[in-house]
Amino acid sequence: MAKILPIVNTALAALALIVGVIVLLQVGGIKSSMIEGLEEAESAEQEEIDVTTIPIAELEEFNMDENFILTYDSLINEGKKVNVVLKIGFAIHNIDEDTKTIAITALTSQGKIIRDRIRPILTSKDASYFTDLTKEEELKKEILVLVQGIIGNKAVIDIYFDPIISER
C-alpha cells in the first residue's frame, strides 16, 4: 500500500496537469475567437460612410451658434491679411434616435467647449484651406473626427461650411 500511494499521487497530479492544459487551450481558443470578432466589428465600424448615398430625409442639420472669425496671411498679396468668416454646420444621421439625441444634446449644451476644441485646428491652417477643395475636405475630416470623439458616437457624419473671405 505504501508503494501504491506515491504512484496514485503522481498519476492524479499528471491527470490534473493534462486537464489544466486542455482547459487553458480551450479558454485561449475562445479568447482568440472573441478578439477576432471584436476586430471584425471595429473594422466594419471604421469603414467610411459615403454621405452622398444617405437620403436627405435621414439627415438633420445642426449649425453652430457663433461664426469663427480667422485672420491669415494673404496667399496673393504679400504683406496683406485675409479675413475668413466661417460658420460650421454638422449633418447628423437621424436613423438611430438615441445617438442622434446624444449628438444634438452634446452640440447644444457643450457648444462652447466644442468650439474651443475646433479653434486650434482652424488657427493651425492657412487661407489655402478655404480656397483649395482638397485641403477643405481634409480640414472637414479633421474636424469631423474631433467632433465624433468629443460626442462619443458617429451620429455626426459630415461637416459643412461656406467661408466668406475678404482681403484687407
pLDDT at 111 over 50: yes
Name which residue leads in pLDDT, 113 or 26.
113
Q: What is the pLDDT of residue 79?
A: 86
Query: How far is Cα 58 from Cα 92, in angstroms, rounded to an integer?
Result: 8
Q: What is the pLDDT of residue 25?
A: 72
Q: What is the pLDDT of residue 86?
A: 92
Instruction: Please provide residue 79's backbone torsions phi and psi, each rounded to the nearest 5 degrees.
Output: 85, -10
The length of the chain in residues reads: 168
- The DSSP annotation for 83-130 comes to EEEE-EEEEEETTSHHHHHHHHHHHHHTHHHHHHHHHHHHHTS-GGGG
CATH ID of 51-167, from 3.90.550, 3.30.479, 3.30.420, 3.40.50: 3.30.479
Q: What is the pLDDT of residue 44?
A: 46
Domain segments of the chain: what residues? 1-47, 51-167
Q: What is the pLDDT of residue 163?
A: 82
Name the pTM for this structure: 0.68
Q: What is the pLDDT of residue 31?
A: 61
Mean pLDDT score across all residues of the chain:
83
3-class state of residue 79 by DSSP: coil
Cell (9 digits) for 163? 467661408
Query: How far is Cα 150 from Cα 147, in angstroms, rounded to an integer?
Result: 5
> In the predicted model, what is the mean pLDDT of residues 87-114?
89
What contacts 12, CB < 8 A, 6 or more positions away?
Answer: none
CA-wise closest residue to 65 among 100, 113, 102, 97? 113
The single residue listed with the C-alpha cell 485675409 is: 82
